[in-house]
Amino acid sequence: MVTFWKNMISSQIGKLDKEKSMVLLPIAAIEQHGGHLPVGTDSLILEALLERFANTKEFKGYHVIIAPQLWVGKSNEHLGFPGTISYTAITLYNMLKEMVDSMVKSGFKKVMLTNSHGGNTDLLNLISRDLRIEYGIDVYVFDWWFTPFWQELLATEKESPSPYGVFHACELETSLMMAINPDLVDKNAITDETPDEKFQDMKYLSLFGPVNMGWKTRDVTKSGVIGSPSYATAEKGEKMLQYATDKLEAIVAELLGFQY
Ligand SMILES: [Zn+2]
C-alpha cells in the first residue's frame, strides 16, 4: 500500500507494522528555471511523480508512506534570479533532522530522502549518514541528478548533442513539465544554453567532474537555462514520468527487502 502521511489518521499511523514500513520524505526546490518554466518545476515534477506512484503502485504486505513534501530546498546557486526561494544548508539540515526525529518518535525505522533538485544532493548525502549514526535507523537517498537513474532512458530518448543537454530547465525537465502541466510552459520563450565552450579546453574540470567547482548559476549561464529544452516534447515527458514511476517502484521494492 502507498499512502500520503497527511491523509492518514493518527491511530492508523500508530498501528502500522514499522518493520514493514518505509517513509519517503520528498524534497524539491523553488528556483528560476529559465524563461520558459515555472519556478516550482522541481516541486511540481516530484509531486506528479509521487501521485502517479501512489495511485498505481502497491507493495503487498508493506506500507509505503509519503511524508509532506518540502517545496523549498537549498537553491542559493540561483539567488539573484527573481522568484528563487532558498533555505541555507543549516536551516534545511535542521528541518530534515527534526522531521526525521518526529518520524522516529512515531516508530518508523526506514526513511528515504526523495529528491528532485541537484542543489540538495550534497546535503542529503551528508545528513543521511548523520541520521543513521544518531538514530540507528535505515536512511537512503534517492537522487536522479548525480546518479545513473535516468541513464537507460536517456540512452534512447536524449536528442540534444551537448553533454549538458540534460541539466537544468533542460530537455528532461521541460519534457516532464510539458506532460504534467503544459499550460505552465512558455514554449515561445524556450532557449538553449550550455557551458560546452567554457570548458572546451579543460581536461579535468567540468560540471560532472572529475574536478568539480563551487559554482553559481550565473557562472555558467546567462539565461538561467543549462541544457537544451528545444528538444523537449510532451510525448517524451510522458515516457520519462512513467519510467521514473516504474523505476521508483523497483527501488522501493528493493529497499523494503534490504537489511543493513
Ligand atoms: Zn529543476
Q: How far is the CA of 37 from the centre of ligand 1 (A)?
A: 9
Q: How far is the CA of 33 from the centre of ligand 1 (A)?
A: 6
Q: How far is the CA of 83 from the centre of ligand 1 (A)?
A: 13
pLDDT at residue 160, rounded to an integer: 96
pLDDT at residue 260, rounded to an integer: 85
Q: How far apart are CA 114 and CA 252, in angstroms?
A: 11
Give the chain's residues under pLDDT 70: none
- For the chain, where are the E strands, in sequence order? 2-4, 21-27, 63-66, 110-115, 138-143
Question: How distant is the alpha carbon of residue 211 from its chain centre?
Answer: 23
pLDDT at residue 251, rounded to an integer: 98
Q: How far is the CA of 203 from the centre of ligand 1 (A)?
A: 27
Q: How far is the CA of 18 from the centre of ligand 1 (A)?
A: 33
Q: How far is the CA of 42 from the centre of ligand 1 (A)?
A: 5
Is 26:43 a contact under the CB 8 Å cutoff? no
Q: How far is the CA of 44 from the centre of ligand 1 (A)?
A: 10
Cell representation of residue 171: 530537455
- The full set of domain ranges for the chain reads 2-256
Q: How far is the CA of 233 from the centre of ligand 1 (A)?
A: 16
Q: How far is the CA of 241 from the centre of ligand 1 (A)?
A: 14
Q: How far is the CA of 28 from the centre of ligand 1 (A)?
A: 8
Q: How far is the CA of 1 from the centre of ligand 1 (A)?
A: 29
2-256 CATH pick, 3.30.70.260, 3.20.20.140, 3.40.50.300, 3.40.50.10310: 3.40.50.10310
Tens-digit pLDDT profile for residues 198-219: 999 999 999 988 999 999 999 9
The CA-based angle 17-68-149, given to 5 degrees, is 85
Q: How far is the CA of 196 from the centre of ligand 1 (A)?
A: 19
Tens-digit pLDDT profile for residues 247-258: 999 999 999 999
Q: How far apart are CA 112 and CA 186, in angstroms?
A: 34
Its pTM stands at: 0.96
